[in-house]
Amino acid sequence: MVFRTQAGILTRLGRALGSIEVDRIDATSVQMHLYSAPPPSRPGQFATMNGFFRFALQRRLLAESPLPIEKPTKPPYSKPYIYSPGEVRRLLDASEALEEWQPTRLSILPQLSMRTLILLLYGAGLRISEATSLTLDDLDILKARLVVRNAKFGKSRRLPIGPKLCEALRIYVKARNSLGRHPPPTPAVFVKRSGDPASRFAADLSFAVVRGMAGIKRTDGAFFQPRLHDLRHTFAVHRLVAWYKAGANVQLLLPKLSTYLGHVGLAETQHYLTMTPELLREANQRFEHYAAPEDYHA
């Protein structure tokens, strides 16, 4: 497991507290730093800082933890948002106008970078961090595959990709050097307008702009609006629906989907398989076919 998020939390805590000895850490300063974070991120920050302070307590570097006794409560997370095919098309269309939105803001992805990133997440089900970590050496356009290196749990995998996605990547790589103000000095596939590698923050920020332009939003009272990461959920659900419609053996193919997504087992994959009306309908039809085949064909 790579603890990038936790490392970032402790780095920001260190900057906020300054260069002081552990036993001089002030509880008020720690709590002010914790509650200055957005509510959704507070539980994760609390857990990371709690681990650090427990480490210090066990080694008698602290007399007591400076964290509050009451843990921040988690917001009511909603189910992942599953984009319809029409909404994916709207996102791609909206990305065309990304250059018109504060074109001097170098943290925003170029239009072609954002469009290709959306296609990659939807067409290959990658995690955002996996996509932003791709280098040019990880793409094999001729063999229509890509390599995801050192992903979650330190695993790497080779993924075949479809011809349309492969062509989109070929077009992007050909135009990549002319997207920013300067030729990118990095082997990273996805770059910002500055020419620097695209971070997850830049990808999420650019997507929020695109989603707003596309007019896609939740109306179910969920805390989060549709996210870039939800394209990974959408990939999994749409793949299942396609298999059901094709009459494929979904139970046999499900482990293959789990491997493709980079999961260690089926339990992880089930988290992504959010039921949608279309998926539920296809599953019910398959069950009816199995339970009463004669009536199904009548």
Domain with CATH 1.10.443.10 in the chain: 85-214
Please name which of 31, 41, 206 lies closest in space to residue 131, comparing C-alpha atoms. Answer: 206
Please answer whether residues 210 and 96 qualify as being in contact, where contact means their C-beta atoms are separated by less than 8 angstroms.
no
pLDDT in tens, 78-88: 678 999 999 99
Known catalytic membership, residue 272:
yes
The CATH homologous superfamily of the domain defined by 85-214? Intergrase catalytic core (1.10.443.10)
Q: What is the dihedral of CA 231, 234, 239, 241, to 10 degrees?
A: -160
Catalytic option among 33, 127, 149, 170: 127
pLDDT of amino acid 261: 92
Of 90, 176, 238, 263, which is the active-site residue? 263
Whole-angstrom distance, CA of residue 143 vs CA of residue 159:
11
Counting as low any pLDDT under 50, the low residues of the chain are 295-298
Active site residue 289: no
Catalytic residue among 229, 233, 238, 239: 229
**Exactly one of 152, 170, 200, 286 is catalytic; which is it?**
152
Please identify which of the residues 90, 232, 233, 239 carries the catalytic annotation: 232
Annotation marks residue 122 as catalytic: no
pLDDT of res. 296: 40
